[in-house]
Amino acid sequence: MLIPTRPMSRRRLLRSAGGAALALPFLEAMGPSLGSRVLGNDHAADSERTPKRFVAICASLGFHGDHLFPESTGRDYAITPYLEKVQRHRDDFSLFSGLSHPEQNGNNGHASELTWLTAARRPGLAGFRNTISLDQLIAQEIGLKTRFPFLALTTGGQSLSWTSSGVEIPAQHSPAKLFTAMFVDGKPHEVEADLDRLRRGRSVLDTVGSRAQSLKRELGIRDQQKLEEYLHSIRDLESRLQQSEGWVRRPKPVVDEEPVSDINDKALAIERQKLMYRIIALALQTDSTRTVTFQLAGLNSVPQIPGVQSDWHGLSHHGKDPEKIAELKRIEAAEWGAFGEFLDQLKSIEENNQSLLDHTAVMFGSNLGNASAHDWRNLPILLAGGGYRHGEYVAHDAANNTPLCNLYVDLARRMGLEIDAFGSSTATGIKGLESTT
């Protein structure tokens, strides 16, 4: 098929009768003239009594490796200061070193946070475009089974979740708002208002979808393929909106918890983490969602932790100064303590003769292997629960980092996705990870 010689305007929109509009994706027909060149061709009825869950938690300022990684590998490793905080769960987690994503060398090492769950290359550099994050890939497969297809959360930083178009999904930082959304039923007029908004959204998508189909006659094969991907995303959104209508009318789960209040003092960084962990555990326990990302934001100020007098970000760039490292240790040990309490919660919740932790794969780590040097190699990665055989420290080759995405493929397959590759993966699993089923 021939591409039109007159470029299509990039400002062209698909409009509904009510005036609402969706922007088209970039198509080759919008580019310079190519002349005549030819281009190539009911929730309660859910049969899953013990659904699988996935939680990814990223500490954006990293962890000091000397206080985390043991000197010896295997099951008999000597405990380290940070692992001491989770030692009671030693048989419920595996620790990995030597994992990374390739080509994360942007202008600023912190940019690797953008790609922790995507593995897109060269973050932060000109022309960078992100790709879909692991949680969103999973949510596309199983998200319609729960009231919330996913939860993207943070203590005050940016999101870990990215769409298939490489667009950041805003993260919720308010535990109070999250609690209300999950467990507080709206008044009748609020429910009707929500339904009305959903119906209007479906009406817009119905109209622009039909008009996009008619547009295909004007496009070349490659543009038709791009537009078909775009229409697929519209159809997916329509399905989500239709599912949402059912959830709006359905009563929310009843929990034996009072509504929470946000902790607005950012200096209480660990307390803020603990509060969000509580809400995550409730979300998983009530099957309100099965996919969660949680970004642990650092501070450019002093956290309220005994013995800490310097700003957190500055301490992460310690330059091997023993006094700075000692202060940093107090902060990071407190983070590990909060994470240990989260594992306590999941372990204490029984679900069909097992714990909720047994059914939830929890990945805890960072996008930085050495925050002081902005080094994105040799990432600290702990995987807890999820029905895996745990109890080991597994050191991969730190000089030739094993793709972290090899682990991601295994995690995605565990959640029911039929994939053999993701991001920079070279295998469908990694050494030291074995399922018990």
Residue-wise pLDDT tens digits, 369-426:
998 888 899 999 999 999 999 999 999 987 888 999 999 999 999 999 999 999 999 9
Q: If you average pLDDT over residues 297-301, what whole number do you get?
A: 95
Is the same domain home to 236 and 371?
A: no
pLDDT of residue 110: 83
Length of the chain in terms of residues written: 437
Q: How far, in Å, CA of 368 to CA of 298, rounded?
A: 13
Is the same domain home to 180 and 233?
A: no
pLDDT band at 124 (very low <50, low <70, confident <90, very high): confident
Q: Is 403 helix (H, G, I), strand (E, B) or coil?
A: strand
Domain that holds residue 239: 186-250
Quick check: is 194 in a domain?
yes
Is the same domain home to 204 and 59?
A: no
Q: Which of 72, 94, 56, 54 has its CA nearest to residue 432?
A: 94
**Domain boundary at 250, 271, 299, which?**
250
Can you point out the beta strands (E) in 201-352? 291-296, 350-351
Residue-wise pLDDT tens digits, 221-275:
777 666 666 655 555 655 555 555 555 567 888 888 889 999 999 999 999 999 9
Is the same domain home to 220 and 295?
A: no
pLDDT band at 19 (very low <50, low <70, confident <90, very high): very low
Q: How far, in Å, CA of 79 to CA of 70, rounded?
A: 7
Is the same domain home to 78 and 102?
A: yes
Here the tokens at position 201 are: 């959204």
Is the same domain home to 82 and 219?
A: no
Helices in 10-163 by DSSP H: which ranges?
134-142
Q: How far, in Å, CA of 371 to CA of 312, rounded?
A: 11
Which amino acid is located at 398 in the chain? Answer: A
CB neighbours of residue 174 within 10 Å: 17
pLDDT of residue 276: 97
Quick check: is 110 in a domain?
yes
CATH number of the CATH domain containing 150: 3.40.720
Tell me the torsion sign for CA atoms 301, 304, 307, 313: negative
Is the same domain home to 276 and 234?
A: no
Is the same domain home to 275 and 412?
A: yes
Is the same domain home to 399 and 419?
A: yes
Quick check: is 40 in a domain?
no
Instruction: Specify the higher pLDDT residue, 295 or 1.
Output: 295
Residue-wise pLDDT tens digits, 27-78:
444 444 333 333 333 444 344 679 999 999 999 999 999 999 999 999 999 9
Is the same domain home to 357 and 215?
A: no
Q: How far, in Å, CA of 420 to CA of 404, rounded?
A: 14
Quick check: is 172 in a domain?
yes
Quick check: is 29 in a domain?
no
Quick check: is 25 in a domain?
no
Judge whether 311 and 301 are in contact, CB under 8 Å: yes
Q: How far, in Å, CA of 129 to CA of 115, rounded?
A: 10
Is the same domain home to 275 and 399?
A: yes
Q: If you average pLDDT over residues 8-14, what whole number do you get?
A: 46
Quick check: is 181 in a domain?
yes
Q: How far, in Å, CA of 348 to CA of 69, rounded?
A: 27
Is the same domain home to 198 and 174?
A: no
Number of domains in the chain: 2
Arithmetic mean of pLDDT over the chain: 83
Quick check: is 362 in a domain?
yes
